[in-house]
Amino acid sequence: MSSPTVSHKPWQSGDHEKNTAVSTKVEGRGLTRGQRRTVTFYLFISPWLLGFIFLTTIPMLLGFLTSFTNYEGLSIANLRFVGLTNYVRAFTADPEVGFSLGRTLLWGLFNLPTWLILSFAMALILNQNVRGQGFFRTLYYLPSVVPVVAAITAWKVILDKNAGWLNGIIDLFIPGTAIGWLSDYAMPGMTMIAVWTGLGTAMVIFLAGLQNIPDELVEAARIDGANSFQIFRYITLPLMTPVIFLQLVMGLIGVFQQLNLPLVLTQVGISTGAVPPRQIYLYMIHVYRQIFISSRWGYGIALLWLLFIGVFVLTLIVFWTEKYWVYSDRPEEGR
* Separation CA 100–CA 304 (nearest Å): 13
Q: Is 174 left (phi over 0), alpha (psi -120 to 50) or beta?
A: beta
* Cβ(316)–Cβ(253) below 8 Å: no
- Torsion sign, CA atoms 254, 257, 260, 263: positive
Q: Residue 62 CA to chain centroid, in angstroms?
A: 24
240-298, pLDDT tens digit by residue? 999 999 999 999 999 999 998 888 887 766 556 677 888 899 999 999 999 988 889 99
Instruction: List pLDDT tens digits, range 145-177.
Output: 888 888 988 998 899 888 888 988 998 888 888
Complete domains list, the chain, with CATH = 25-66 (no CATH), 87-325 (1.10.3720.10)
- Residue 326 makes CB contacts below 8 A (sequence gap 6+) with 241, 242, 244, 245
Task: Please indicate, yes or no, whether the overall pTM of this predicted structure exceeds 0.85.
Answer: no
Q: Where are the alpha helices (DSSP H) in the chain?
A: 10-13, 15-27, 33-52, 58-66, 85-92, 95-126, 133-141, 148-159, 165-173, 186-211, 215-223, 228-231, 237-257, 260-265, 283-288, 297-325
CA–CA separation, 121 and 210 (whole Å): 11
When pLDDT is cut at 50, 70 and 90, the band that residue 11 belongs to is: very low
Residue 20 has pLDDT above 70, yes or no: no
For 69, 242, 298, 299, the CA distances from 83, given in Å and listed in that order, are 7, 42, 11, 11
Mean pLDDT along residues 180-184: 87
85/149 Cα distance (integer angstroms): 37
Q: Do 126 and 136 touch, CB atoms closer than 8 A? A: yes
Q: CA–CA separation, 280 vs 192, rounded Å?
A: 13
Interval 289-328: pLDDT, tens: 999 888 899 999 999 999 999 999 999 999 999 999 998 8
Please report the pLDDT score of residue 227 as a whole number.
Answer: 92
Give pLDDT tens digits for 39-78. 999 999 999 999 999 999 999 999 999 999 999 887 788 8
Q: What is the pLDDT of residue 15?
A: 52
Does the pLDDT of residue 179 top 70, yes or no? yes
Q: Is 6 a residue whose pLDDT tops 70?
A: no
Is residue 187 over pLDDT 60? yes
What is the reported pLDDT for 330? Answer: 66
pLDDT at 268: 65
Buried b or exposed e, range 22-44, using 16+ CB within 10 angstroms = eeeeeeeeeeeeeeeeeeeeeee
Instruction: Give residue-wise pLDDT tens across range 75-99.
Output: 788 899 999 999 999 999 999 999 9
Residue 235 has pLDDT above 80, yes or no: yes
